[in-house]
Homo-oligomer: A and B are copies of this chain.
């Protein structure tokens, strides 16, 4: 796969994840190729990849359609993430934490503390916290020493809206967002506390619970606007 092919893959994936291609919509090779101004070959490759990722579904000998993601699937993906992240935290403790890992985690906590100290957040802060959050989780997953966790999570996350990246927040209710993110950040503190004390089971339990912060979003807000994605 070269640039063109990659670009098409990412374009289509983005269009599906963002909802630009509505769930249930039929996606044939030729129209798609024409739409993107390329031949069928790279489109074919991209569609096959997206089908394997679970974003598309093959219609027998008749192309693909955008998979309709049920609420059960989204909630299920969060639950799967929950146990995988929990596993990572526990295994990281069991394996023993290096100073480098502890320092990285601590810096995530410190930066977050600063961010939330002023009692409110703006969009820039949220973007910043998003980075910290990613680093926090990636650090623990890496520290687990279990190379199977990262790919399992990655494949679990590419459902539309299932990943924490896709958390959409109500820009008009930054106050409530502040509460949520601050709570998530406090959970990070508890996880690190457990990890420092070598409490693997506690770290696992806390990390599991932490994954559920996303579900509130799923339940309450985001998907109200996407009736098509809910069964």
* Interfacial residues, chain A to chain B (CB-CB below 8 A): 1-2, 44-45, 48-49, 52-54, 58, 61, 70, 72-73, 75-77, 79-80, 83-84, 86-87, 91, 145-149, 151-152, 155-156, 159
Among A75, A80, A86, which residue has the most Cβ atoms of chain B within 10 A? Answer: A80
Among A52, A72, A87, A159, which residue has the most Cβ atoms of chain B within 10 A? Answer: A87
In the complex, what residue of chain B is closest to A72 when comparing beta carbons?
B147
Q: Which residues of B contact A148 (CB under 8 A)?
A: 73, 76-77, 79-80, 156, 159
For residue A214, give the distance in angstroms from its CB to the closest CB of chain B: 13
With A84-B83, A155-B155 already in contact, the answer to whether A147 and B48 are too (CB < 8 A) is no
Q: CB within 8 A of A1: which of B48, B80, B155? A: B48
Q: CB within 8 A of A48: which of B48, B80, B91? A: B48
Q: Which residues of B contact A48 (CB under 8 A)?
A: 1, 45, 48-49
B45 and A80 contact, CB distance less than 8 A: no
In the complex, what residue of chain B is closest to A82 when comparing beta carbons?
B87
Q: Which residues of B contact A80 (CB under 8 A)?
A: 84, 87, 146, 148-149, 152
A152 and B151 contact, CB distance less than 8 A: no
A156 and B152 contact, CB distance less than 8 A: yes
Q: How far is the CA of A208 from the CA of B72 in the complex (A)?
A: 23
Q: Which residues of B contact A70 (CB under 8 A)?
A: 147
Q: CB within 8 A of A146: which of B53, B79, B145, B155? A: B79
Q: How far is the CA of A61 from the CA of B5 in the complex (A)?
A: 12
In the complex, what residue of chain B is closest to A61 when comparing beta carbons?
B2
For residue A90, give the distance in angstroms from its CB to the closest CB of chain B: 9
B61 and A79 contact, CB distance less than 8 A: no
Q: How far is the CA of A54 from the CA of B152 in the complex (A)?
A: 11
In the complex, what residue of chain B is closest to A204 when comparing beta carbons?
B83
For residue A145, give the distance in angstroms from its CB to the closest CB of chain B: 7
A-B contact pairs, 15 of them (CB 8 A): A2-B61, A45-B48, A72-B145, A72-B147, A76-B146, A76-B148, A80-B87, A80-B149, A80-B152, A83-B84, A148-B156, A148-B159, A152-B152, A152-B155, A152-B156
